[in-house]
A and B are shown apart, each in its own frame.
Chain A
Amino acid sequence: MDKENLSVWTSIPFWRRSAAWVTGFAVMLLIWLSFDTLGQISMGSDEDLKNGITKRVPGPTVINYEIDYKMSEKRGGEVPVIGKKELFFGKEWSEQEAADLLHLGKLTSQAKNCMNCHTLLGNGGYYAPDLTKAWLDPAWREGGPLQGMTGKNTKEEAMAEFLMHPSQYPTHARMMPDLGITAEEAKGLVAFLKHMSSIDTNGFPRNFSKTVEQFTAGGTNAR
């Protein structure tokens, strides 16, 4: 078909050139968008948090703040809302301490292979609950069944206790195995989870735990 060249539609050079141009264009557009995205998802700083500047991925010291997940009418979904300061494991963490703790937590999440049962930001295994907004799960709140089960008084302590001895706190027939998580690693993991819950995920998961009232009422809306 090269030689005869009856029509452009059966011409190999035409399709080869088109393939090269289309691929080149797609790659250039991807690289350009990637630069923009990388800027937008780089971690914010402690200064940003202090000055109330909203970042898609806040800095590690976000663990010193209350985090909520509220419906934004403008965005059409829920967005994380960083509120006033709160203690985390009974103290306020300096910039360096918070960064170190998040580092330990993220490393531990990989070392313990969390992602092959759970999903993080919705990616991973489908054997255990999504952890994207686990920090905000009402079950860990004061009065929630998971916090109550561990006998601890704060959300972070309850989560850390569970992570260290998961098979001592069975909630369902399907349980989390004991992965030998130390007390420090557990703190790190909770910091990692709290940090992840502050990331702007464009409204995923939607209507997070909207049934909390129904849930506390024993699984029904009937009054």
Chain B
Amino acid sequence: MLASIKSNHLQSESKKLGMMYFRVAIILFGAQLLMGLIAATQFLVPGFLFEIFDFSVARMVHINALVVWMLYAMLGAVYYMIPDETGMETVGVGLGKLAFWVLTAAVTIVVLVYIFIQVGSGSESTIWLINEGREYLEAPRWADIGIVVVVLVFYWNVFATFMKGQKTGIMTVMVANLMALAGLYLAGMFYTDNISMDQFWWWWVIHLWVEATWEVFVGTLAAYALIKIINAKREIVEMWLWIEVLMLFGSGILGLGHHYFWIGTPEYWWEIGALFSALEPVPLVAMFVHVLYDWGKEQGVAEQEGHRNVMRNGPAMAWIVANAFGNFLGAGVWGFFHTLPQVNIYTHGTQFTAAHGHLAFFGAYATILIGMMYLGLQGAYGIKTLKATFKSKMGIVLIISGVLGMTVALTIAGYEQVLVERAELGAGWNAFFAAQELPWYVQAQTWRTIMGVVTFVGFVYLVWDLLTIGKQARLAQQAEA
């Protein structure tokens, strides 16, 4: 009997591959949080691991683990949804599995080099072998090329399966959007002595990922998940998806201008960036309304038909609702706070940005990707209705409280820094440290660290839940039958 509990109920190899990606993603998520805790501690205790594991290293691994776990979970989500959407098995799933192992080996080597070698001499070989030294895109060039190859395999799998199978609206958006997402990575793969040129292209990757293509990706995931979880009507979901594409790309692509205020680029980006990035929250409100409206509507339909509950996966839906709200709050509201150049000339490059970064990455991406993991588990254990456990609830409550707490603390630290370092003292070395040593700033950083620990405890509950919820639900389902 035990064997049947443990057995994987997924028939599709593509879905199994999706689960493999999810497993690595959750490990890297843990690594991200640990590195964040080290870096947060260094703000309070500057001597902590000094010249052993410096802030620069901890933060580099912190933000790289973030990007990579999200990409893993995104690839996993796509491999998981392909069979449902196209009605067939992914065409090159064997090659896909090989690519998974190649990528995982490469990520392991890159991380070990980051941790143990850290920095190199000022030469091309460092850029190729150790660390490219460009925030978020630190992966050395050899790994960049490896990533491109792996992504080509992945994209071929998505594209070829799409061409052979059903062409749903969700998959149409997915295929087009993934091409842009993958292609943009190339803009970050060259070296230049001109720092303005460097950052111009760097933002093409970073911004057009997180404020355009990743957002559309989230829209497609939410569309798919709503159909799976609450039986939302495909036509409504797909119509919303096209409206979201219109609004997200309509605002997000030229919203890129808000990164071109101060890097040497011309002044016309002030107006372009301000106008379009100010519109960026609009689709996020729409997505929020859409998720809750559909839920209410489908629940109403279910009740009329005499079913008690439309919900098929409680924890996944909880994370998707957290996504709808978190995306609007973190990316939308916290982004809008400092997107106008009149404000940004003071807030640019302060803890204000860190506050926005934390809530936006979490709200817009981490939430829905965790939701997709729960959806995957439901399939892997063949559960008809997955209900949230105590551990699921502890996970979601503690992680959300922790991240919100960190965001509030960093926002307060940001206010201090903006007013004292920038407005009062006019930047500079002395101004920077004057602000960093203010009691209110230190107090805010202390709260950030405490809230980071809360987040980590929530993560422990989350992993514990992910490891046990499937088995438990499977047993309960068998007991009922």
Contacts and interface: CB of A to CB of B under 8 A. Distances in A.
Interface in B250-272: 250, 253-254, 256-257, 260-270, 272
Given A108-B121, A211-B431, 12 more contacts: A33-B269, A103-B193, A120-B195, A125-B59, A126-B350, A126-B417, A171-B429, A171-B433, A177-B50, A203-B345, A204-B262, A205-B427
B264 A201 contact: yes
Interface string A176-192: 01111110010010001
8 contacts: A30-B253, A43-B197, A104-B122, A107-B127, A110-B132, A116-B55, A119-B349, A130-B349
A22 B437 contact: no
Q: Which of B59, B118, B134, B263 has the most CB of A within 10 A?
A: B263
Interface in A156-205: 167, 171-175, 177-182, 185, 188, 192, 195-196, 199-205
Interface in B225-276: 235-236, 238-239, 242-243, 245-246, 249-250, 253-254, 256-257, 260-270, 272
A202 B131 CA distance: 31
Interface stretch (A34-42, A46-54, A83-91): A34-42
Contact of A113 (B119, B250, B430, B431): B119
Contacts of B133: 109-115
A178 B51 CA distance: 7
B336 interface: no
A137 B51 contact: no
Given A10-B239, A15-B243, A130 B263 contact: no
Q: Which of A105, A114, A202 has the most CB of B within 10 A?
A: A202
Q: Which of B54, B124, B267 has the most CB of A within 10 A?
A: B54
Interface string B185-203: 0000001111111111010
How many of chain A's residues touch chain B, expressed as a range? 35 or more
Interface in B123-176: 123-124, 126-127, 130-135, 138, 169
B46 A121 contact: no
Nearest to A176: B54
A217 interface: no
B436 A107 contact: no
A94 interface: no
Given A125-B55, A125-B56, A2 B235 contact: yes
Contacts, number: 272
B123 A107 contact: yes
Contacts of B428: 129, 133, 137-139, 208-209
Interface of A: 1-2, 10, 12, 15-16, 18-19, 22-23, 26-27, 29-30, 33-34, 36-38, 40-43, 56-57, 60, 77, 99, 102-117, 119-130, 132-134, 137-139, 146, 167, 171-175, 177-182, 185, 188, 192, 195-196, 199-211, 215
Interface string B275-296: 0000000000000000000000
Contacts of B417: 126
B135 A107 contact: no
B55 A127 contact: yes
B196 to A, nearest CB: 4
A127 B59 contact: yes
A41 B192 CA distance: 12
Contact of A111 (B42, B122, B192): B122
Contact of A117 (B56, B345, B427): B56
Given A121-B264, A199-B264, A113 B118 contact: yes
Majority secondary structure, B binding face? helix
A106 B153 CA distance: 34
B119 A172 contact: no
Interchain residue pairs A-B with the least CB separation, the first 3: A108-B122, A110-B133, A204-B262
Contacts of A202: 261-262, 267, 270
B263 A122 contact: yes
B217 to A, nearest CB: 15
B254 A29 contact: yes
B142 to A, nearest CB: 15
B353 interface: yes
A206 B345 contact: yes
B197 A42 contact: yes
A40 B266 contact: yes
Contacts of A139: 428-430
Contacts of A107: 122-124, 126-127, 191
Contact of A116 (B43, B59, B126, B254): B59
Contacts of A60: 193
Given A113-B119, A117-B59, A122 B246 contact: no
Contacts of B476: none
B238 A185 contact: no
Contacts of B121: 108, 111, 180, 182, 185
Contacts of B34: none
A126 B202 CA distance: 18
Contacts of A114: 56, 133
B244 to A, nearest CB: 8
Contacts of B349: 119, 122-124, 126, 130
Contacts of B353: 126
B425 interface: yes
Nearest to A33: B272
Given A129-B429, A137-B428, A122 B250 contact: no
Contacts of A33: 257, 268-269, 272
B460 interface: no
B135 A57 contact: no
A23 B249 contact: yes
A150 to B, nearest CB: 14
Nearest to A120: B195
A69 B39 CA distance: 34
Contacts of B134: 110, 115
A20 B360 CA distance: 26
Contacts of B249: 19, 22-23, 26
B245 A23 contact: yes
A112 B199 contact: no
Contacts of A77: 345
Contacts of B197: 38, 41-43, 57
A180 to B, nearest CB: 7
A60 B193 CA distance: 9
